[in-house]
Every structure is written in structure tokens, then in C-alpha cells.
Amino acid sequence: MLLQQLINGLTLGAVYTLIALSFSLVMGILGILNIAIAELFMLAGFIGITALMAGLPFPLALAAGIAGATVASVVIKFVAYDPVRSSPVITPLLTTLGCSIIIQNVVVNYWGSNPLQLPFEFLGERLRYGPISIGSMQILVMATSVASVAVLGFMIQRTRIGRGLRAAAENRDVARLLGVSAERLTIVAFALSGVLAGIAGVLIGMHYAAITPYVGVETGLKAIAVMVVGGVTRIWGALLAGPLIGIIEVMTIAHGGSQIRDLVVYGLMILILLIRPQGLLGGRSSDTGQRV
């Protein structure tokens, strides 16, 4: 049914949005694509499910996953970004790619290569409205994602740190001259990206009651597509493109089969970029205005 698929698509899109925002934050402030974010998402899922299996309540399991992803993200900043910050853009991309491979191998060696599955379905209750069935976990995923985006938006628009992030995104050199600490904002950008990836990882792991060491690659690529479609450094663009990509993917699977979902999603991304290279909410190519 159409409404049922829309709900499923919005759930998936909520996760894509969080990861895309994680990419956009680092891209907007530092101008680099942190490939390791996809594996931070996966790492948080493993930590969250492990914590839940150990008997911890959901809030603590979520906090553990977020903490793990955030700490790993800040470590990546020091070991993979700081030493090459003055190098060409391709260099930090490659160093973060190396970090993503390391994280994946650490997870495989610690948890194994098989999916980590919950012995029970977390929040398995379903609410039914006629032919429409909404899982309690789906509601939790969407509600948490909306709340996370709202908190992020408030922080960026209304707090001193947020103003610093926006100033650095617009012009880092001018922001530094005005007394904005580039080092502190860099740490904040990496930490926030870890928080968002951590929330997404724990939520998706609990939603499917399982997670694999290889989920980060596929989900990360979809999140990058969301970021590009919405406008590379526009966080509100990700908020629009995430549900759009999620709905399109679910509709494609429902009506065309899973074999062509990637063809449709990435084909749409290419089409949008051909028509509007700056993304749905991106400014003109010459516009250097507010990016976050």
C-alpha cells in the first residue's frame, strides 16, 4: 500500500538524513569528505546492540553508541586530519578512507564478520490504523531523527558555537581574524559528526534488530548521495533529500525489485546534478554565502 511504503521510506530517509548531516558538517567547515563517517555509523550500531544485549536500557545503549562514535571521530581528527590539514584535499580523503578500513577490520576481528543480532525484537509492538501498520521502532527512529535535527538547527542558529561554525563555513580566514578558534571548531565539527552518525547507527541497528560490519559502505554511499542531492554543505538540503531518497528507494524495491534500487537512486542523483549541479537547496556556484 502506498501509505505503508511512504512510512517505510520516511524511516529509512530519517537515518540517511542524520548520516548526510554528519558528512555535511565536516564538509561545510573543513571542505573535506570524511569517508570514515560511514564506519562510525556501523561501529555505533555494534556498540548499541551489544549494550542492549548486556541488559542496559535503551537510553544508555544509545548513549554508549553515540559516545563510541564521537570518541572515534575525534581521534580521527587528530590522527587522520591534523597531520595533513595543509595538504591537497585528496590527502585527508585518503587518510579518512584508511581509518574507515581500520574501523571495519577492528569490528570484524572483535565481533566477527557475521551479523550481530538481537535475540529479541526491540519495541516490536505495531500500531495499526486500518491497512497501515506502524512499528513502535519506526516511530522512535523518526522522532529521534527529527529531534536531533531540531537540536542541531537550534545550536547552529542560536548558540555561540553555532555562530562560530557558520562563520568558519563562510570564510575560515576571516573567522580566525575575528577571534574564532579554528582548532576548537574543528574538534566540534568532528564531534558533532560522530554524534549524528552514532545516533543513526544505534537506531538502524535496533530497527532491524541486527547489524553487519559491512552496512556502513552501502549506507554511507546513500548518505553521500543525499548530501549531494540536497546541496553538499547545506544541512537543510539533507533534511529534504533524505526522506526523498528513502521513499524512492523503498518504492523502487516494492514495485521494481531490489535489483534496480541502486540504479534508480544514483540515477536520480546524476539527473539532479545535471539539471541543478549545486543540489536542490544549494546556492549559485558563485555564491559563498552561509553553508551550514
Residue in 211, 214, 191 with CA at minimum distance from that of residue 51 = 211
Q: Which residue has the cell 576481528?
A: 109
Q: In this predicted model, what pLDDT tens digit does every residue of 48-66 receive, in sequence order?
A: 999 999 989 989 999 999 9
The secondary structure of the chain, three-state, reads CHHHHHHHHHHHHHHHHHHHHHHHHHHHHHCCCCCCHHHHHHHHHHHHHHHHHCCCCHHHHHHHHHHHHHHHHHHHHHHHHHHHCCCCCHHHHHHHHHHHHHHHHHHHHHHCCCCEECCCCCCCCEEEECCEEEEHHHHHHHHHHHHHHHHHHHHHHHCHHHHHHHHHHHCHHHHHHCCCCHHHHHHHHHHHHHHHHHHHHHHHHHHHCEECCCHHHHHHHHHHHHHHHHCCCCHHHHHHHHHHHHHHHHHHHHHHCHHHHHHHHHHHHHHHHHHCCCCCCCCCCCCCCCCC
Q: What is the pLDDT of residue 289?
A: 37
What type of residue is 10? L
> Taking 70 as the threshold, does the pLDDT of residue 285 lie above it?
no
Candidate ranges 137-151, 188-202, 275-289; pick with highest mean pLDDT: 188-202
Q: What is the pLDDT of residue 215?
A: 92
Q: In this predicted model, what pLDDT tens digit does every residue of 194-235 receive, in sequence order?
A: 999 999 999 999 888 889 999 998 899 999 989 888 887 677
Neighbours of 162 (CB within 10 A): 17
Write down the mean pLDDT value for the chain: 86
Q: What is the pLDDT of residue 214?
A: 92
Strand-pair category, 116-117 with 210-211: antiparallel
Q: What is the pLDDT of residue 283?
A: 60
Q: In angstroms, how far is CA 262 from the centroid of its own chain?
A: 18
> Taking 80 as the threshold, does the pLDDT of residue 120 lie above it?
no
Q: In this predicted model, what pLDDT tens digit does every residue of 182-195 receive, in sequence order?
A: 788 889 999 999 99
Q: What is the pLDDT of residue 212?
A: 94
> Taking 70 as the threshold, does the pLDDT of residue 290 lie above it?
no
Q: What is the mean pLDDT of residues 169-186?
A: 74
Residue in 102, 105, 59 with CA at minimum distance from that of residue 206 = 59
- Grid cell digits, residue 49: 546492540
